[in-house]
Amino acid sequence: MSTILIIDDDPQFNLVLKSAMEMDGHEVETASNGREAKALYQNKKYDVIITDIIMPDIDGFEVILDLRRMGMSDRTIAVSGGGRTSANDYLDAAQHFDVAATYHKPVDLQALRATVEEIINKNK
């Protein structure tokens, strides 16, 4: 069974993604910000990490940089609905940190699920 960590400050978004990933047979944990996520991924290895960019406390860029230092950026998916600038700006920046994929919110669940499976199969 593959393990997935979803990091987003929107509890409804976390619930929707968690439900979709669990339906595909994955074990899923969620965190509402980067600080909570860091406590999780430093103590457990995840097959896929899905992180929002704009969050309170530690944002998605800090999470991505931390995961990159740990050699896990190739299993990280960045999502964004935008903020002070457009989602494209945030997601373009995330791509420079070698994330596996980026998605705009609202996320196309079918495409995201396919990307999750690709990452899992690639890293087996």
Domain ranges of the chain: 3-122
The span from the CA of 84 to the CA of 101, in Å, is 22
Q: Is the dihedral of CA 75, 79, 84, 88 positive or negative?
A: positive
Q: Among 26-30, 71-75, 93-97, where is mean pLDDT lowest?
A: 93-97
The structure tokens listed for 76 are 């990280």
Q: How far is CA 59 from the centre of its chain?
A: 12
Helix, strand or coil, per DSSP, at residue 95: helix
CATH of domain 3-122: 3.40.50.2300
pTM for the structure as a whole = 0.93
The span from the CA of 42 to the CA of 81, in Å, is 27
- Average pLDDT on 89-112 reads 88
